[in-house]
Amino acid sequence: MEKYHGTTILGVKKDGKTVIAGDGQVSLGNTVIKPNAKKVRRIGEGGKVIGGFAGATADAFTLFERLERKLEQYNGQLMRSAVELAKDWRTDKYLRNLEAMMIVADKDSLLILTGNGDVLEPEGGIAAIGSGGNYALAAARALSDYEQDPEVLARRAMKIAAEVCVFTNDQLTIETVE
């Protein structure tokens, strides 16, 4: 069975502003199935949390819904909600089988969430996941000292990732919190 590929999600937190950018490509084998998928969105009350996903779309939406419930339960506290989601994700038999990763952020935190129960706060305020994640991460780190605006930095890093990763394109969805 062929596997879906084609997600690059990049989070950049700098100078009180956080950006999550995601490309639009979904591939099945060596065929682009969809060039303009939306993998980044606002969640929580008032859209104060942004998130992007890599992996199976239905699994990611399940996780977004669970995270939204945790945000309601813990009064919008992203860190607490993410830790509680990670606990559920790791211990619940249904959730444990979900194949997705997430980058989520609010005005205070930028986090990577994994199905292993990880809640990671990346060093230097830059995080990336997905097929082209390592390309975007390397580009963002290289550009970080030279570009102060996190949105410009994210756009440039994603452009570089799209140029070198066949599973990444330049049709971006970008969300920002300050």
Angle between the N-to-C axes of helices 78-91 and 57-73, in degrees from 0 to 180, rounded to the nearest 10: 130
Active site residue 62: no
Instruction: Give the residue from 8, 4, 2 showing the smallest Cα distance to 129.
Output: 8
Contact of 99 with 57, CB cutoff 8 Å: no
Residue 107's alpha-carbon distances to 18, 46, 63, 79, 118, in angstroms, are: 7, 13, 21, 11, 20
Residue 30's alpha-carbon distances to 6, 27, 146, in angstroms, are: 10, 7, 35
Question: Of these residues, 7, 57, 62, 114, which one is catalytic?
Answer: 7
Instruction: Give the residue from 172, 150, 176 showing the smallest Cα distance to 159.
Output: 172
Query: Which token pair is 125?
Result: 């305020």
Three-class SS state of 50: strand
Q: Which residues are annotated as a binding site for Na(+)?
A: 162, 165, 168
Which residues are identified as catalytic? 7
